[in-house]
Chain A
Amino acid sequence: GAGVSQSPRYKVAKRGQDVALRCDPISGHVSLFWYQQALGQGPEFLTYFQNEAQLDKSGLPSDRFFAERPEGSVSTLKIQRTQQEDSAVYLCASSLRTSGGSTDTQYFGPGTRLTVL
């Protein structure tokens, strides 16, 4: 079956613009995660959904970051008033069950590379 898809793959924004990044998880996967990967770093957790419920958003760096998954499938990560430090690859991952990622294999999308000028 299809894997996790993300769009757009590349996004260039001027500082101050709002952006929306989309994630389509694997069909039937309950858990969905967003990560931020800065250049030369490992992924860092942003937020986690179980179906439509956002159970953990402790990794969101500021109130400019907002994520939603209204129907428990597709998710959107929105960044308002983008800043240069927001430049990174944003990864989405999904897993089948509801264990919060502790044991389930997470399947990652290809990521969206955001560049803020």
Chain B
Amino acid sequence: AQSVAQPEDQVNVAEGNPLTVKCTYSVSGNPYLFWYVQYPNRGLQFLLKYITGDNLVKGSYGFEAEFNKSQTSFHLKKPSALVSDSALYFCAVSLRESGGSYIPTFGRGTSLIVHP
């Protein structure tokens, strides 16, 4: 079984400040991890993914995420938030090992609000 937790329903940050959106996961093997963003009335857009290798993953629009195996976390970060980053962010996990489920499981989402 695999699951994802996004412990914050909403994150508020001032424009120009660093932002963090938290994600923790639970899988029985080695995970693939993803972040997606959803703007109102639009589908999910891919931001970044961790497959293997360097624990720090850089993605679109200046976002990055760090895979921490010991803490089973994959937090999304950005050094300087923009008002236009305000959106709904989803973390997803997919199991890597053969025999496991390769279908991603999504978290409930975190609403990011960046204040001018």
Q: Does residue A91 face the partner (Cβ distance < 8 Å to B)?
A: yes
Number of A-B contacts (CB under 8 A): 58
Could you say which of A14-22, A39-47, A65-73, A79-87 contacts chain B?
A39-47
- Beta-carbon nearest neighbor of A9 in chain B: B41
Nearest-Cβ distance from residue A12 to partner chain B, whole angstroms: 16
Give the B-binding residues of A (Cβ under 8 A).
4, 33, 40-45, 48, 56, 59, 91, 93, 99-103, 105-111
Task: Please determine whether A101 and B104 come into contact, CB atoms closer than 8 angstroms.
Answer: yes
Given contacts A41-B109, A42-B108, whether A91 and B44 have CB atoms under 8 Å apart is: yes
List CB contacts (< 8 Å) of B34-73 with chain A. Answer: 36, 41-46, 49, 51
Task: Please determine whether A103 and B51 come into contact, CB atoms closer than 8 angstroms.
Answer: yes
Kindly state the separation between the CA atoms of A48 and B103 in the bound complex, as whole angstroms: 9
6 smallest A-B Cβ distances: which pairs? A42-B106, A108-B43, A100-B102, A102-B102, A108-B44, A110-B43
Task: Please determine whether B102 and A101 come into contact, CB atoms closer than 8 angstroms.
Answer: yes
Contacts of A43 in B (CB 8 A): 44, 90, 106
